[in-house]
């Protein structure tokens, strides 16, 4: 793995990224610490076609529900953080956090195997 | 961020990683796939499947892409690699020209 080098320009969009996870999908989002959760949800809306109001973001592993009006820095969301995405269901409630990990998947496949 | 500016990388176990094209282009192999029209059908839909790369390794690779962009813009941090991932990660990096 090579190490590139270029002039410094802090505060640009490469400043940090977060990993937004739901089921078997991970979205890598570039962001800056001063961005609000609402702005993050607006970015997600572009990707997943789900309105901002139907999204809930939860900081892992402590499962703190993130507040729309606060910034990433305010809520201690750091570079490379994992954030769970849950969506509003038909009954208006939000679904439970569901992040599938590869090991879980192997286990479930073994149990599905019927042997 | 627009959907067109992202690419979806799919691991051996079918896990999906949606990342910026700019980040994916850190890999010369993916760059070639994304910039040579016609030769790779899946890149037209913005999806690349890696049947030989496990989920854990593919996620690590995506983290590396973003770390690499940060490093290129002057943020000098270490990139942490768990020792048990090293061999598999190097094989994947070799394949991806990363």
Q: CA-nearest residue of chain A to B55?
A: A102
B73:A8 CB<8 A? yes
Terminal C-alpha separation, chain A: 42
Domains defined along chain B, listed by start: 3-92 (3.30.710.10)
**CB proximity under 8 Å: A 25-54 to B:** 25-30, 43, 46-47
What pLDDT does residue B2 have?
80
Burial, B92: exposed, middle or buried (Cβ in 10 Å; 0-12, 13-18, 19+)?
buried
Beta carbon pairs, A and B, within 8 Å: 85
DSSP 3-state helix, strand, coil percentages of chain A (rounded to 5)?
25, 30, 50
Domains defined along chain A, listed by start: 16-112 (3.10.20.90)
Q: Min CA distance, B69 vs chain A (Å)?
A: 6
What pLDDT does residue A14 have?
72
What pLDDT does residue A11 have?
55
pLDDT mean for each 10 residues of chain B (98 residues): 88 96 94 77 80 96 96 90 92 90
In the predicted model, is pLDDT for residue A113 greater than 50?
Answer: no
SS (H, E, C) chain B: CCHHHEEEEECCCCCEEEEEHHHHCCCHHHHHHHHCCCCCHHHHCCEEECCCCCHHHHHHHHHHHHHHHHHHCCCCCCCCCCHHHHHHHHHHHHHHCC
CA dihedral A94, A96, A97, A98 (to 10 degrees): -120
The mean of the pLDDT values for chain A is 85
ipTM score: 0.91
């Amino acid at each position: 793995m090579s190490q590139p080098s270029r002039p410094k320009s802090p505060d640009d969009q490469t400043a940090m990224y977060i990993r937004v996870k739901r089921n078997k999908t991970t979205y890598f989002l570039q962001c800056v610490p001063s961005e609000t959760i609402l702005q993050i949800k607006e970015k997600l809306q572009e990707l997943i076609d789900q309105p901002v109001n139907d999204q809930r973001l939860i900081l892992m592993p402590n499962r703190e529900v993130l507040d729309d009006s606060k910034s990433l820095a305010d809520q201690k969301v750091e570079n490379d953080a994992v954030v769970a995405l849950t969506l509003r269901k038909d009954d208006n409630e939000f679904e439970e956090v569901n992040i599938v990990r590869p090991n879980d998947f192997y286990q479930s496949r073994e149990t599905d195997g019927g042997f | 961020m627009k959907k067109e500016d992202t690419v979806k990388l799919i691991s051996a176990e079918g896990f999906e990683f949606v990342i910026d094209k700019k980040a994916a282009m850190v890999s010369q192999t993916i760059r070639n796939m994304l910039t040579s029209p016609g030769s790779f059908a899946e890149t037209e839909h913005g999806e690349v499947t890696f049947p030989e790369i496990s989920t854990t390794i593919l996620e690590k690779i995506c983290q590396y892409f973003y770390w690499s962009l940060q490093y290129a813009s002057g943020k000098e941090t270490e990139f942490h690699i768990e020792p048990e991932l090293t061999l598999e990660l190097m094989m994947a990096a070799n394949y991806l020209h990363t």
